[in-house]
Amino acid sequence: MPSLPRTSLLRAPLLVVAIFVLALLALYPGASLRAQSSTNSSSQSTPVAVDPPAERDGEVADMYVKGKQVEVLYRNTGRTATSILGELQVRDQDGELVATATLVEGRTVGAGRSEKLRVAMPPLAPGHYTLYAVVDFGGESLTAAEAALEIKP
């Protein structure tokens, strides 16, 4: 007659503990789902919405002189509407600031939208200049574009 394997006194309790642990693991996901659904269906709890940090980003996409005006194309490349401030700076060949003009103040630009900004060209003597369109869109940095300008006598 073949002999049956002996179960030692140590193996039997380990077998019982293993079966108990497997039973708990099998029941755990169901208990978790019930807890979630009962918490969500409670009339006294209020859901808390956590928004990701607002992404603010923008760029001065283009700048050109059109008659006696400077036109600047600003593009909101971020994920939120932003209020922008902008200035046109004119510097001479030595980098000295010779004129400034407010380009925009407090205009809101929607996410993914572009705005054409216009400002009158400041009166300048003949010479070589560099124009800078600087826009603050509320992000961590500013955006700007530059263009060379020559005023002939």
75 alpha carbon, distance to own chain's centre:
14
Q: Is the confidence at residue 36, as pLDDT, over 60? A: no
- Residue 47: band (very low, low, confident or very high) from pLDDT cuts 50, 70, 90: low
Torsion angle of C-alpha atoms 51, 53, 110, 58, degrees rounded to 10: -160
What does DSSP say about strands 97-109 and 82-91: parallel, antiparallel, or unpaired?
antiparallel
Cα 131 to Cα 145: distance, rounded to the nearest angstrom: 8
- pLDDT (0 to 100) of residue 2: 53
Cα 64 to Cα 71: distance, rounded to the nearest angstrom: 5
pLDDT tens-digit map of 113-148: 999 999 999 999 999 999 999 999 998 889 999 999
Can you read off the two tokens belonging to residue 30?
A: 């169901």
